[in-house]
Structure 1
């Protein structure tokens, strides 16, 4: 899939966001190594700690259908401000993806791309728990 198409999928996903508190819509499109794309949007809750992030929703859908290998993720907000995944979502991605995993962040007519390891250096891994 072309990067622009993955970004478009993330944009379409944020249209479905439930954001009555922040009014900040986020969408994510996660591409698996076989080319399947899973999308997610943020879902806010009055108890903020129960809110779900777009990246989490996309990853959960992929995992629930048996996917464990991912090639990249695109993230977009309705403000097209180059939003990056938060620290929690970065750590969740690191559970399944290596440091080179591409994270594509949508801006108006362009995008930024970061390797996950740059966004989350010194990641907590399974090796740290052994």
Structure 2
């Protein structure tokens, strides 16, 4: 289920996804966050399944929009959902590529390595479903 969803959405924009969100009831993340809420580092850490340092790095490098005075990280709910959607699309692409690679592999050590990558991607996708 997770893999199919990630692979299906990788070709649609955030706005298109918002308009069709009811077609994807299995995704809990986008329902759980109000568009207008301001999320703190702890919230982002929980929803994205990353460390606080990763959240700070995303803010520092401009990967995610911050709506707060310097020194504080507050992220608008809608901006966070868009960021996570783009991340979901990348994970879907990575998953498709890794599955295609896995199907071609013959060497058992390479197969195991590729399977671990698939497991890692699926684990990251799980944060969208809780």
Instruction: Report the TM range for the smaller structure's normalisation.
Output: under 0.3
Structure showing the higher helix proportion among its residues: 2
Larger radius of gyration: 2
Q: TM-score, normalised by structure 1?
A: 0.22
Structure showing the higher strand proportion among its residues: 1
Higher RCO structure, 1 or 2 (CA under 8 Å, sep 6+):
2
